[in-house]
């Protein structure tokens, strides 16, 4: 299992939100590049970067910072937040991003994500951000008529195998991941499942490792020392 430190960028800083509420944020690094270098030097093998401003606005607000992150470290970076066009995908890939994560656009436009899956394949992931068993959109402030499991099955059928699942109610709350839903998703054929939201201790990561998921994202717990890079290395999650 790969453990991906999370770097969420808001107003140019590395922050963490509680339950995706943009006004409820804590700043941990003034410069997100410093955070990237810290986690890379600590042994991380992959970084998860989110342009929070982009998630709410639908544009690449922090593209310059993300480009600097890719230049500063020698490990792969996946990026999400506001990627709603092919131009945005191409621009990030050209900057050195390894994998682009599509969220709202994949939920709202099945034709778009189907076409992008054919063109970009393994360079794409889709973020399934859930309130209960319903998929949310637009920086988590919007809703949809999509249910988590059928939507995941659709994505796998069109060739998107890497799926990032987040239980919004747990994100930034240190309450542990939604193991029940993650276990159901993990049963789907050919899925590369990345768990996100609520990591509170190394025990949560061990539980996810037992489920057999491909990856786990940790943010607030890592920034506040509740999970350490040393523990992650010992877990073999690097």
CA angle 194, 197, 199 (to 5 degrees): 95
Neighbours of 190 (CB within 10 A): 8
For the record, the structure tokens of 73 come out as 């470290």
Catalytic choice (51, 129, 167, 171): 129
Say if residues 155 and 181 touch (Cβ distance below 8 Å): no
**How far does CA 180 lie from the centroid of its chain?**
19
Known catalytic membership, residue 129 = yes
Cα separations (Å) of 128 from 94, 133, 207?
25, 10, 20
Q: How many CA atoms lie within 13 A of 220 on its CB side?
A: 20
- Indicate if 8 belongs to the active site: yes
* Residues with a known catalytic role: 8, 129
């Amino acid at each position: 299992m790969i453990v991906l430190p999370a770097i969420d960028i808001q107003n140019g800083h590395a922050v963490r939100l509680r339950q995706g509420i943009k006004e409820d944020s804590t700043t941990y690094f003034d410069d997100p590049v410093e955070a990237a270098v810290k986690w890379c030097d600590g042994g991380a093998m992959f970084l998860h970067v989110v342009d929070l401003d982009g998630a709410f606005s639908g544009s690449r607000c922090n593209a310059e910072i993300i480009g600097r992150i890719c230049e500063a470290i020698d490990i792969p970076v996946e990026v999400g937040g506001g990627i709603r066009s092919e131009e945005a995908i191409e621009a990030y890939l050209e900057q050195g991003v390894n994998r682009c994560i599509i969220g709202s656009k994949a939920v709202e436009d099945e034709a778009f994500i189907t076409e992008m899956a054919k063109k970009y394949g393994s360079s794409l992931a889709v973020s399934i951000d859930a309130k209960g068993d319903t998929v949310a959109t637009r920086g988590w402030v919007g809703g949809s008529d999509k249910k988590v499991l059928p939507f995941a099955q659709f994505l796998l059928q069109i060739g998107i195998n890497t799926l990032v699942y987040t239980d919004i109610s747990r994100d930034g709350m240190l309450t542990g991941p939604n193991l029940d839903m993650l276990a159901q998703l993990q049963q789907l054929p050919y899925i590369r499942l990345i768990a996100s939201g609520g990591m509170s201790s190394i025990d949560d990561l061990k539980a996810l490792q037992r489920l057999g998921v491909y990856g786990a994202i940790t943010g607030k717990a890592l920034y506040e020392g509740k999970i350490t890079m040393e523990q992650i290395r010992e877990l073999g999650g690097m």
